[in-house]
């Protein structure tokens, strides 16, 4: 695989250091900062477009006017109560999945190590469906079920791969097995459901932002506020893990501890995202890799993965509402189609690179 | 270097095992201060396992590993990594990483959340690259380099860690003879000029005899002999440890022992 050199003499420096008093210092890569800023701007633009999209179309300028309070009550309701939470849920789900995917890929040292490939997303769905079908629970308990299902799957996969240290293909292969088993369980649960429950349960088969409101937004925001900074601080340790357990340990890292904390954070983020929107597939798989190709970072670039994830989900939601004139697709269908193409390309590239 | 120099690093009556298979039982080995200690022995004699135990990659099921009198399993990971470095046998370079970035990873145990890149980090990395002669490769990607260059870079990373003790697991494997000597000369220089204590596992007995100041010969998890190569390497020892009939002559270059394996005809006579 040919790639451009990571940095060239005399061009933009690969890293700049900010020195603070008290011998403190911070280091950042200008290229990464540019990528994150560009993706954040793109996401903002997409959110403005999403706020104008729906039964009553509004241009971006009209949207800004509505947000400033110059609007009819109908417009206010449409934008503030229907579209705003929906768009923000899309942003948070994308960021959560992007950062969780980057952590998973780092831990498994494999670009295929993404929660929707290795079963954690399916586990969340199993949890949610169990609550819907067997207990007829409301939205709050369904979300709790999704989180519990994701965590249980994470724990099971971790235990099954513990010997040999949950690394590389072992994690991916065990995860793929878990994903297949759980998908079958999800199908079975739906066949056991009554008509009403089945209709509610179907929502959990394809992720969507349709009808998401503030009741989904706030818990998701709380989860992100807690887990995103926690995972961000694991960034350097995750980079260490990519050098193999022995080198990581020789450099003063604790591989088992790094894996356990990073996986727990990532499983929780995935579960929170799935509880809010259902399984929005392939974002966690593609966002970190796309971000990495833009930033050309060598370690996991968690902020860029989060920004890329948010851009992808908002773009997917916009596309889902515009792709077909008569029908509104679920966003998960769009990410599924694009992600499938990406996965084919990835497998091809990995084969060519001799890693598969 | 005399064997009576105070020990920096000691495996004290350790039992080493992977799951149920015991590699060594009640093994005691001391690494003298400022020595270039080389561990030799036939395949599967436990030499790499011993190195892993000395560098806390493997926890002994019995006994202790002591660094300056402190048990290493009780030391915090980062603190230990500032005193004891290890270069594994086949280290993994992250995809697409540059030489400069890889060497800089050696500073991890000296860094923190709010101490990400100090002037000290910068200086030490620059020096480590100069000491190993890889300064000109700084911008290159590690996966583009040859085996010999790559090994130098890994040693540079271990140097950037600034540990007084450095453990190397078969640092010359997969290299041609010129690059093997190149790496060993580099190790000898680090040992002599910078006063570091080095411990290496080597396959080649003659390399060990030439470069080691302290030699540890293992067989089946037991120390058969240890001491200065000139004192302990004899034809009997080599036969004992490697089951190899040989003659030991003086290395015309260095005066150290040189092991010359017996010709096949003679070997046949001996075994018959």
Task: List pLDDT tens digits, range A186-211.
Answer: 989 888 888 888 887 877 788 889 88
Chain B residues with beta carbon closer than 8 angstroms to that of A14: 98, 100-101
> A6, B96: Cβ pair inside 8 Å?
yes
Q: So what's the pLDDT on residue A2?
A: 36
Chain A residues with beta carbon closer than 8 angstroms to that of B56: 249
* Higher-pLDDT residue of A343, B183: B183
Q: So what's the pLDDT on residue A6?
A: 40
Task: List pLDDT tens digits, range B47-92.
Answer: 999 999 999 999 999 999 999 999 999 999 999 999 999 999 888 8
Q: So what's the pLDDT on residue A10?
A: 40
Q: Which residues of B145-179 are buried (b: 16+ CB within 10 A; e: fewer)?
A: beebbbbbbbbbbbbbbbbbbbbbbbbbeebeeeb
> A236, B79: Cβ pair inside 8 Å?
no
Q: So what's the pLDDT on residue A168?
A: 66
Q: So what's the pLDDT on residue A8?
A: 40
Q: So what's the pLDDT on residue B3?
A: 46
Average pLDDT score, chain B: 90
Closest Cα in chain B, distance from residue A251 (Å): 5
Among A6, A23, A244, the residue with its CB nearest the CB of B92 is: A244
* Higher-pLDDT residue of A271, B113: A271
Compute the average pLDDT of residues B212-231: 94
> What ipTM score was computed for the predicted complex, to two decimals?
0.87
Specify whether the CB–CB gap between A235 and A300 falls below 8 A. yes
Among A8, A9, A23, the residue with its CB nearest the CB of B118 is: A23
Q: So what's the pLDDT on residue A1?
A: 37
DSSP string computed for A313-331: HHHHHHHHHHSSSS-PPPH
Per-10-residue mean pLDDT, chain A, length 356: 39 70 79 93 95 85 86 86 93 96 89 87 92 82 90 88 65 89 91 83 84 90 95 90 90 91 92 91 91 83 94 94 80 87 81 62
Which residues, 6 or more positions from A233, have their beta carbon under 8 angstroms from its beta carbon?
A: B113
Compute the average pLDDT of residues B141-162: 92
- A vs B, Cβ pairs < 8 A, gives 99
In this model, does residue B99 exceed pLDDT 70?
Answer: yes
Q: So what's the pLDDT on residue A353?
A: 63
Q: So what's the pLDDT on residue B212?
A: 96
In this model, does residue B254 exceed pLDDT 80?
Answer: yes
Closest Cα in chain B, distance from residue A28 (Å): 9
The whole-angstrom separation of Cα A64 and Cα A71 is: 10
Q: So what's the pLDDT on residue B32?
A: 94
Q: So what's the pLDDT on residue A7?
A: 41
Q: So what's the pLDDT on residue B114?
A: 82
The whole-angstrom separation of Cα A4 and Cα B246 is: 54
Task: List pLDDT tens digits, range B28-38.
Answer: 999 999 999 99
Q: How many Cα atoms within 13 Å fall on the side-chain side of residue A97?
A: 37
Interface list for chain B against chain A, based on CB atoms closer than 8 Å: 55-57, 77-82, 85-88, 91-98, 100-101, 105-106, 108-109, 111, 113-119, 139, 141, 158, 161
Compute the average pLDDT of residues B119-125: 90
Q: So what's the pLDDT on residue B5?
A: 66
Angle between helices A302-322 and A214-232 (to 10 degrees): 150
Specify whether the CB–CB gap between A113 and A105 falls below 8 A. yes
In this model, does residue B101 exceed pLDDT 80?
Answer: yes
Chain A residues with beta carbon closer than 8 angstroms to that of B105: 239-240, 243, 251
> B81, A251: Cβ pair inside 8 Å?
yes
Q: So what's the pLDDT on residue A316?
A: 94
pLDDT band at residue B2 under the 50/70/90 scheme: very low
Closest Cα in chain A, distance from residue B179 (Å): 23
């Amino acid at each position: 695989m040919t790639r451009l050199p990571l940095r060239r003499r005399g061009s933009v420096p690969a890293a700049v250091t900010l020195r603070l008093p008290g011998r403190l210092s911070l280091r950042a890569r200008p290229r990464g900062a540019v990528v994150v800023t560009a993706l954040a701007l793109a996401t903002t633009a997409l959110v403005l477009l999403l706020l104008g999209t729906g039964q009553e179309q509004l241009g971006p300028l009209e949207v800004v006017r509505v947000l400033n309070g110059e609007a009819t009550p109908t417009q206010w309701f449409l934008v503030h109560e229907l579209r705003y939470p929906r768009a923000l849920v899309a942003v948070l789900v994308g960021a959560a999945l992007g950062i969780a995917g980057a952590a998973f890929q780092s831990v498994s040292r494999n670009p295929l190590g993404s929660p929707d490939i290795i079963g954690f997303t399916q586990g969340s769905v199993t949890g949610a469906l169990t609550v819907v079908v067997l207990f007829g629970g409301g939205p709050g308990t369904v979300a709790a079920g999704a989180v519990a299902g994701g965590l249980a799957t994470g724990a099971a996969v971790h235990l099954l791969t513990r010997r040999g240290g949950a690394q590389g293909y072992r994690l991916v292969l065990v995860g793929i097995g878990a994903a297949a088993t759980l998908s079958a369980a999800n199908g079975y649960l739906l066949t056991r459901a009554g008509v009403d429950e089945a209709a509610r349960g179907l929502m959990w088969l394809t992720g969507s932002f349709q009808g998401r409101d503030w009741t989904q937004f706030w818990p998701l925001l709380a989860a992100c506020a807690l887990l995103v900074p926690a995972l961000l601080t694991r960034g350097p340790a995750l980079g260490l893990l990519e050098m193999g357990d022995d080198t990581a340990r020789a450099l003063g890292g604790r591989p088992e501890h790094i894996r356990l904390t990073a996986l727990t954070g990532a499983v929780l983020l995935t579960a929170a995202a799935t509880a809010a929107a259902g399984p929005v597939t392939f974002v966690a798989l593609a966002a970190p890799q796309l971000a990495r190709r833009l930033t050309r970072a060598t370690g996991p670039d968690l902020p860029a993965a989060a920004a890329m994830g948010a851009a992808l989900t908002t773009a997917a939601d916009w596309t889902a509402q515009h792709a077909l004139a008569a029908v509104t697709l679920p966003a998960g269908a769009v990410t599924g189609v694009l992600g499938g193409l990406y996965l084919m390309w990835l497998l091809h590239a990995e084969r060519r690179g001799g890693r598969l | 270097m005399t064997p009576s120099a105070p020990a920096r690093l000691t495996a004290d009556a350790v039992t080493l095992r992977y799951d149920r298979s015991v590699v060594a039982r009640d093994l005691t080995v001391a690494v003298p201060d400022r020595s270039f200690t080389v561990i030799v022995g036939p395949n599967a004699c436990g030499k790499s396992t011993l190195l892993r135990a000395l560098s806390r990659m493997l926890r002994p099921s019995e006994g202790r590993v002591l660094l300056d009198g402190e048990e290493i399993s009780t030391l915090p990971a980062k603190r230990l990594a500032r005193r004891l470095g290890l270069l594994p046998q086949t280290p993994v370079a992250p995809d697409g990483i540059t030489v400069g970035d890889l060497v800089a990873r050696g500073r991890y145990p000296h860094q923190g959340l709010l101490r990400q890149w100090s002037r000290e980090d910068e200086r030490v990395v620059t020096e480590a690259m100069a000491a190993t002669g890889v300064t000109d490769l700084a911008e290159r990607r590690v996966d583009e380099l040859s085996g010999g260059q790559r090994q130098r870079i890994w040693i540079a990373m271990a140097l950037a860690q600034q540990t007084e003790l450095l453990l190397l697991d078969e640092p010359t494997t997969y290299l041609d003879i010129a690059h093997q000597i190149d790496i060993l000369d580099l190790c000898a220089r680090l040992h002599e000029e910078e006063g570091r204590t080095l411990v290496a596992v080597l396959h080649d007995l003659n390399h060990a005899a030439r470069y080691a100041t302290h030699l540890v010969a293992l067989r089946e998890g037991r120390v058969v002999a240890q001491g200065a190569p000139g004192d302990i390497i004899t034809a009997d020892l080599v036969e004992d440890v490697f089951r190899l009939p040989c003659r030991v002559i003086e290395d015309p270059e260095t005066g150290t022992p040189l092991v010359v394996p017996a010709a096949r005809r003679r070997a046949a006579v001996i075994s018959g």
